[in-house]
Amino acid sequence: MPKQRDSGIEAADARLAWCCIAPALLVIVAIALVPLAWAAWASLHRNDLRMPWLGQSFVGLGNYAEAAGDARFRESLAHTGLFTAVSVAMELVLGLCLALGLHRAARLRGVIRMAVLLPWAIPTVAVALVWRFMFEDGYGVISAIWSPSSGGWLVGASAAWVPLILSDAWKTTPFVALLLLAGLQTIDDGQYEAARIDGAGRARQLLHVTLPALVPTIVVALIFRTLDAFRVFDLIYVLTGGGPGTSTETVALYTFNSLFGRLRFGYGSALSVIVFVVTFGLALLYIRALDPQRRGGDR
Amino acid sequence: MTRWLPRLVTVVVLAVWAFPLYWAVLSSLTPEARLFESPSLWPRAVTLEHYQTLFAERDFWTPIRNSLIVASATTLSSVIIGALCAYAIARLHFRFKGAVLGLILAVSMFPQISIVSPLFLLLRRLYLLNTYAGLVLPYLSFALPLTVWLLVAYFRQLPADLEQAAMIDGAGRLTILRRVIAPLAVPGLAAAAIVTFIFCWNEFLFALSFTVGPRRQTVPVAVALFRGQYRVPWGQILAASVLATAPVAALILVGQRWIIRGLTAGALKG
């Protein structure tokens, strides 16, 4: 900045800044940080709301030890990992194809913008219900075309994942494409020009110009989608309810069931702390992975 | 490469993507008995009975009213609180700015399920379960970081010259905020408000956990918990899903340009 700031203005600025920030900080501390700390504290206690007369007793890491030995919890972790890996991979690949296609089709941009935003904005509950209806045995439009076994899609332990993953991809691929499209639009035309002069065809341009330039955007999309997919709740609660049995139950769903189904607030809090730690670990991992890329891109 | 091929592909992709929407609307207009027969891709009979039953028998106005109140109140509070915070982060100089922004971004990544149990105990102790405040307060935990994040990106794009010119003319920070920044900020505030409203309108986990019975249920919870006497009332469920989608569809139709700019600007900055 060319002009010199005198220290009086600087101090007034800082005072004003803290006044502006205070309400937001207060809210965030009160409804996000305090509850998080409370959850951590509650996870060290037994607190069974079905038997309130037992009170809350300190059990140390007992709830975490129980979680480590809980087969249903381990399965729910595996389910979540599976759902996250498959749906995010699908969404990134499809989204990249879609973005590359849209980048060329400048004419249709208006229609496409609406088409891209609509699935993203529709309530997940509505999406889940519509997809469940399409996969219902006997009268669902997709079951009418093909159904895996007697009883249909929603009663098969593996088959039930198909509507879950397809509906997630349906809802979020357009959003991924939107992010990647924004990334594509920042690539300098000169780079393509240079590649063309060097005799690079379309495929080589894609491989050597487009994709490397797009890496930071891809990583951002990957972060968003992984974190979202890992805490998936609405879609599964409504579409399969975690069933058949518990074969599509994810960690968020199992945590919810422990809390509000079995009213085990101590154990449920321990599970929610685990979800938090895993989510945060993933976020940190990605951010560290992104950093060198960014510096490379800024050169 | 021929000219029609990309267009053909685009049209096919759009058609595949539009199908679930078409199917939901079509089925919501199909008479009850036909819904449970083998499906037909074209309408054979059209009826509004499901929409009528929704309001006549299920009192669907109550969840609509609840959702409107909760989403509007949350959006209004988080845009006001968030705009101040975002302005300070984008435009003013102070220590620990990076830490404040980092904290807010970190909170926006919080999984809702991680704070649902303490929030439930807290709201129960304050007798706020099954109240509007008992939804608006928890909603701020995701709405406020979202609003701040969108608005910081927006405020940073505003030209700095205007502020400096006003400052040279002797205007104080507050005058600048009122006279220079506020008018320029309107499109950004509108976009942030639309996105925040959509997130609140669609929220499910908190609304499911902190309401009991139909009195304060929001639209997504009410629709998800629809039960029929003998079989799943698919006609009503789909009609309600269509109605739940209508307001967000209208909002993005109005604000699509701003929304896309807001969403992608934030993402590109990481």
Tell me, what's the pLDDT at A106? 64
Which is more confident, A100 or A79? A79
Q: CB distance A27–B144 less than 8 Å?
A: yes
Tell me, what's the pLDDT at B137? 96
**Bridge partners of residue A57, in order along the sequence:** A46
Q: What is the mean pLDDT of chain B?
A: 88
What's the CA gap between A228 and A169, in Å, rounded?
Answer: 12
pTM of the model: 0.90
Mean pLDDT of A279-283: 88
Q: Is pLDDT of B217 > 90?
A: yes
Q: What pLDDT digit, counting tens, does each position of B92-134 carry?
A: 888 888 889 889 988 988 899 999 999 999 999 999 999 999 9
Q: CB distance B114–A101 less than 8 Å?
A: no
Task: Enumerate the residues of chain B whose CB falls inside 8 A of the CB of residue A109.
Answer: none
ipTM for the complex shown: 0.91
Question: What residue type is A111 in one-letter code?
Answer: V
Is A161 an 8 Å CB contact of chain B? no
| pLDDT band with cut points at 50, 70 and 90 for residue A139 | confident
Q: What pLDDT digit, counting tens, does each position of B71-87 carry?
A: 999 999 999 999 999 99
Q: CB distance B223–A134 less than 8 Å?
A: no
Q: Is pLDDT of A296 > 50?
A: no
Q: Is pLDDT of A1 > 70?
A: no
Domain B60-268 has CATH 1.10.3720.10: yes
Q: CB distance B117–A290 less than 8 Å?
A: no
Q: Is pLDDT of B136 > 70?
A: yes
Tell me, what's the pLDDT at B229? 72
Tell me, what's the pLDDT at B115? 93
Tell me, what's the pLDDT at A295? 46
Helix (H, G, I), strand (E, B) or coil at A264: strand
Q: Is pLDDT of A51 > 90?
A: no
Task: Write the residue in B81, B205, B264 that is nearest to A182 by C-beta.
Answer: B264
**Bridge partners of residue A45, in order along the sequence:** A58
Mean pLDDT of A55-74: 89
Q: What pLDDT digit, counting tens, does each position of B181-205 carry?
A: 888 888 889 889 999 999 999 999 9
Q: CB distance B238–A130 less than 8 Å?
A: yes
Q: Is pLDDT of A29 > 90?
A: yes
| pLDDT band with cut points at 50, 70 and 90 for residue A56 | confident
Considering the domain A62-298, what is its CATH architecture?
A: Orthogonal Bundle (1.10)
Helix (H, G, I), strand (E, B) or coil at A150: coil
Taking each helix axis from N to C end, the angle separating B133-157 and B234-268, rounded to the nearest 10 degrees, works out to: 40
Task: Enumerate the residues of chain A whose CB falls inside 8 A of the CB of residue B242.
Answer: 126
Q: CB distance B204–A38 less than 8 Å?
A: no
Is B81 an 8 Å CB contact of chain A? yes
Q: Is pLDDT of B231 > 60?
A: yes
**CA geometry: angle A95, A96, A99, nearest 5 deg:** 85
Is B66 an 8 Å CB contact of chain A? no
| pLDDT band with cut points at 50, 70 and 90 for residue A298 | very low
Q: What is the CA radius of gyration of chain A?
A: 24
Q: CB distance A125–B82 less than 8 Å?
A: no
- The answer for B 195-234 residues in CB contact with A (under 8 A) is 198, 201-202, 204-205, 208-209, 219-221, 223-224, 232, 234
Pick from A14-23, B127-136, B154-163 the range whose average pLDDT is largest.
Answer: B127-136
DSSP annotation string for A56-105: -EE-TTHHHHHHHH-HHHHHHHHHHHHHHHHHHHHHHHHHHHHHHHHHH-
What's the CA gap between B254 and B258, in Å, rounded?
Answer: 9
Per-domain residue ranges of chain B: 60-268
